[in-house]
Structure 1
Amino acid sequence: MAKTLELNFDAEVGSAKISVRNPKEDLTPAEIKAAMEKMVQANVFITAKGDLVRAVNARVIDRTTEEIEFV
């Protein structure tokens, strides 16, 4: 089972997303929002869409892989 935390932002020209693999299990929505707002304020990410201007939303993607064996 692989989890990814996807952070979605408005950027100067369109939208941008940052994906974090294997995020901590106990993150709260408030912690995620605060971290995203700090990312916007710090302006440390360079994206093809320009600077991040606003945190929009986040989601956890949970992917399970099941091997199929042939008989």
Structure 2
Amino acid sequence: MQVLELIFAKEDGKTVVFSIENPITPIDAQVVNQVMDTILASSVFSSMNENTRKKGARLVERNVSEVPINL
């Protein structure tokens, strides 16, 4: 499974991550930037009473393999 993570930095050094499961690939960096700008402009972080900025974005892929055990 792939997850696109949009990462934002708060003034206090902590991060906020928006995770989008199964994003459309290939990832378009320009679209990701626009989406992050839209999120910031929407004042979604206004309740935190601090400045928030874009920190990064990454595509995370997770593979799970079952390990057989004796039950």
TM over 0.5: yes
Deviates more, 1:53-62 or 1:12-21: 12-21
Q: Which has the higher strand share?
A: 1
1:7/1:36 contact within 8 Å kept: yes
Kindly state the Cα deviation for residue 67 of structure 1 after the two structures are TM-superposed: 3.2
How much is the aligned-residue C-alpha RMSD, in angstroms?
2.4
What is the TM-score normalised by the length of structure 2? 0.72
Which structure's CA Rg is the greater one? Answer: 2
Kindly state the Cα deviation for residue 10 of structure 1 after the two structures are TM-superposed: 1.6
2:8/2:56 contact within 8 Å kept: yes
Aligned to 1:36: 36
The 2-side partners of 1:8 and 1:32 are apart by 11
Matched, 1:27 2:14: no
The 2-side partners of 1:40 and 1:12 are apart by 14
1:43/1:52 contact within 8 Å kept: no
Unaligned runs of 5+ in 1: none
What is the TM-score normalised by the length of structure 1? 0.72
The 1-side partners of 2:11 and 2:39 are apart by 14
1:18-61 alpha-carbon deviations (Å, 9 max, x no partner): 111111112211111111011000123677xx266211100011
User: Structure 1 vs Structure 2: percent identity of aligned residues?
Assistant: 25
Matched, 1:65 2:58: no
